[in-house]
Amino acid sequence: MRLDDSIDNSRPTSQPIAVDLFCGAGGLSYGMKRAGIAISAGIDIDPACRHPFQANVEAEFCEKDVAELSPQFLESLFPANSVRILAGCAPCQPFSSYSNESPRHNAQWQLLPKFGEMVTALRPEIVTMENVPRLRGYAVFDEFQGALRQAGYYYDYAIVRCAEYGVPQSRRRLVLLASRLGPIQMILPTHTESDFATVRNSIQHLPPIEAGRASPSDPLHRSSALSAQNLARIQQSKPGGTWRDWDEDLRADCHVKQSGKTYPSVYGRMEWDQLGPTITTQFHGYGNGRFGHPVQDRAISLREGALLQTFPKGYSFAPDRGTIHISSAARLIGNAVPVKLGEAIGKSIVTHIERFHD
Ligand SMILES: C[S@@+](CC[C@H](N)C(=O)[O-])C[C@H]1O[C@@H](n2cnc3c(N)ncnc32)[C@H](O)[C@@H]1O
């Protein structure tokens, strides 16, 4: 939003290159790559990210704790004279509406300030950060913006409706872009309500499967098993409906809090011609949100979750003959920045560099 007088105006000479902190399975990196940005490396503490990141993004994966990174190590990942892009989608759990914990008591809360320290020490030309909208209410976000201002960055952030960039979800995310080259912001939306991608366009073409089974032709098209009680519940669930559609004897105490507050969207089914819900790391469980398939009696499969996150069909999450653990694959998929949002972030950066980099 402002350019500090002390800004270093020396211009790098070559291609934009990104390093992705907290790279996960590579949703953001893959999207940025599609937008024309070369990815030099991704860093994540979770070893399960190595295969999907390397196989799909085709860049170096560093299994490291970001809290212990040095600016020198980070600098070494960028080729000399590149336009350096530092991406950092720190874990959102401490700030998420699903978390009851105070962020100050969560070690992960330290990771956003650490990202700010890296920006200040390295002074990359471009910075991008994505998180849950609630981050806006926390002091750490104010402090992060303060660090950007002090280091002389222009920056802008917005609460982005992912559906406006082609993602078939109601998901909203805070996206921040910062640059030392000039003012930067997200590109205009590519979709409006009239042409939003829907659950139907995204997953209806897949072969039917039963709860607890996988498709013989696609090991990722696999859904969690259901208890007899949950099978009876989903059989009575209507697309877009709630547990209030069920017979009394199927209702559970936890559906209604003592305060009287209800949870209408747990144990829900998706609707074909609507946006899906935000795909979380728990999307494989029918009881964890509106994750019931629109017409089949099961939660959505890993493949369906990946498609709703706009990962392409061929995205590899595990080695060919490797075992896919449902909860670990769902964590990688649900944690990701949807690829199409990553692509829109990448296009915003490419457009900005074309305009401001000489
Ligand atoms: C929101 S996800 C990032 C998703 C990723 N940007 C994508 O698009 O696929 C946050 C990631 O931070 C990683 N993480 C959590 N704590 C970390 C730490 N201390 N150091 C490095 N990575 C960490 C998690 O393993 C997770 O993959």
Residue 3 lies in a domain: no
Query: Rg for the chain (alpha carbons), in Å?
Result: 21
The first and second tokens of residue 68, run together, are 């212990």
CA of 90 to the centre of ligand 1 (A): 6
Residue 6 lies in a domain: no
What's the CA gap between 235 and 243, in Å, rounded? 11
Hey, which of 32, 43, 45, 173 would you mutate to test ligand 1's pocket, going by the most ligand atoms within 8 Å of its Cβ? 45
Instruction: Say whether both 245 and 123 belong to one domain.
Output: no
Question: Model-level pTM?
Answer: 0.92
Instruction: Say whether both 107 and 78 belong to one domain.
Output: yes
Instruction: Say whether both 89 and 127 belong to one domain.
Output: yes
pLDDT tens profile 260-309: 456 666 789 999 999 999 999 999 999 999 999 999 999 999 999 999 99
Instruction: Say whether both 185 and 266 belong to one domain.
Output: no
What's the CA gap between 142 and 121, in Å, rounded? 19
Q: Which residues line ligand 1 (CB under 6 A)?
A: 22-28, 44-46, 49, 65-67, 89, 91-92, 108, 111, 335-337
Instruction: Say whether both 93 and 149 belong to one domain.
Output: yes
Instruction: Say whether both 322 and 260 belong to one domain.
Output: yes
Q: Are strands 60-63 and 38-44 parallel, antiparallel or unpaired?
A: parallel
Return the CATH number at 50: 3.40.50.150
Residue 4 lies in a domain: no
Nearest of 89, 74, 80, 76 to residue 31 by alpha carbon = 89
Instruction: Say whether both 142 and 224 belong to one domain.
Output: no
CA of 281 to the centre of ligand 1 (A): 12
Please compute the mean of the pLDDT values over residues 36-57 and round it to a whole number. 97
Average pLDDT value for the chain? 90
Q: Are strands 38-44 and 214-215 parallel, antiparallel or unpaired?
A: unpaired
What's the CA gap between 189 and 174, in Å, rounded? 15
Residue 150 lies in a domain: yes
Could you give the number of structural domains in the chain? Answer: 2
Residue 9 lies in a domain: no
Return the CATH number at 205: 3.90.120
Phi, psi angle pair for 51, to nearest 5°: -60, -55
Q: Which residue range(s) make up the domain with 132?
A: 16-194+337-356
Instruction: Say whether both 152 and 205 belong to one domain.
Output: no
CA of 113 to the centre of ligand 1 (A): 15
pLDDT at 116 > cutoff 60: yes
